[in-house]
Amino acid sequence: MQVLKIVAEGLTTSFRYPHFIQQVQPSFSMPPPATIYGHIASALGEWFDPQGVQFAYHFTYAAKTRDIEHTIILSSSSGKLKGSGEAKVLEGNVNPFKREIFFFPRLTLYLNRIEWEAAFRNPRYAVVLGRSQDLFAYRHIEVTTLVQADKAYFEHTLLPYQTNRYTNRGVAVTMPRYLDNQQKRFPSFSRYFIVQERIHSDSRDDFLWIGEKRSERFWIDPSSPEVKGAQMGLAFLSFVGAENEAFSLAG
């Protein structure tokens, strides 16, 4: 299967939980699918039809910390502005909060849209991932051919939620999946499984197979490092429609 492979790097990024507003803003440890959609749209220069678009990624960072930021929450007001006599319609207070930030993030993104290569080589808008100030740069862009294998390892990636049936070496999380710009950015959410440390599909220490081990086929990146006879597997996800129920997305 041919896919578009994009490697992007930045200095900082943060993917805040959408329901935290004041005092603290923790970050997802992986970019949510809705963030990936916005990143792609920024390169294309327009909102695109998400139907049929699939993506997989590998995401790492060097360190994380918490920094102090400020927001000003506005409310309606009345009266006059001091010194000008103009009507005062809004007022607000400075609210400090702690935001979780990742340093030196690196994203390797795989897309089933090889025709978008030119857009990523000449993106319409500034390349960011996360907040508007989290500037990124594309380090490598190519069309590559994935191959199938009967074993693979997974690390620093987002997998289908159903993966938790076979392993406890990860974290289940609910993330923003897609913002519908035709319906005033109405959000949809979905459950996923975050894997940080490396897990091998053929290891009984990493995966629990009920009865006989299932016969699986995985998409792998043939240019990835080989570890214990396996290469890095990719689980492709979508922005809309039913997600794949199976852990393997090959074939």
User: The CATH number of the domain where 103 resides is what?
Assistant: 3.30.70
**Comparing 209 with 72, which gets the higher pLDDT?**
72
Same domain, 83 and 35: no
Same domain, 17 and 74: no
pLDDT score of 171 more than 50: yes
Cβ atoms of residues 138 and 6 within 8 Å: yes
Answer yes or no: is 244 within a domain.
no
Determine how many CB atoms are found less than 10 A away from the CB of residue 75: 8
pLDDT at 236: 95
Same domain, 85 and 176: no
CA 156 – CA 232 distance, rounded (Å): 10
pLDDT score of 247 more than 70: no
* Range among 75-79, 146-150, 206-210 rated most confident: 146-150
pLDDT at 245: 44
Q: Name the amino acid, one letter, at 198.
A: R
Which helix (H) or strand (E) element contains residue 76? strand 63-76
pLDDT at 220: 96
pLDDT at 214: 56
pLDDT score of 194 more than 90: yes
pLDDT at 70: 77
Same domain, 75 and 18: no
Mean pLDDT of the chain: 88
Q: For the chain, what percentages of helix, strand and coil (3-state, to nearest 5) are there?
A: 10, 45, 45
Determine how many CB atoms are found less than 10 A away from the CB of residue 161: 16
Answer yes or no: is 93 within a domain.
yes
Answer yes or no: is 250 within a domain.
no
pLDDT score of 246 more than 80: no
pLDDT score of 9 more than 90: yes
| Mean pLDDT, residues 92-97 | 79
Domain membership of residue 92 as a residue range: 68-97
pLDDT score of 69 more than 90: no
Answer yes or no: is 249 within a domain.
no
pLDDT score of 67 more than 80: yes
**Comparing 143 with 89, which gets the higher pLDDT?**
143
**Comparing 202 with 225, which gets the higher pLDDT?**
225
| Mean pLDDT, residues 220-229 | 95
Answer yes or no: is 159 within a domain.
yes
Q: Which range among 156-165, 187-196, 212-221 shows the weakest confidence by mean pLDDT? A: 212-221
The percentage of the chain sitting over the pLDDT mark of 70, rounded to a whole number, equals: 92
Same domain, 188 and 93: no
pLDDT at 243: 66
- Asked which of 82, 97, 112 is the last residue of a domain, the reply is 97
52-64 pLDDT, tens digit each? 999 999 999 999 9
- Asked which of 97, 117, 135 is the last residue of a domain, the reply is 97
pLDDT band at residue 208 under the 50/70/90 scheme: low
pLDDT at 21: 67
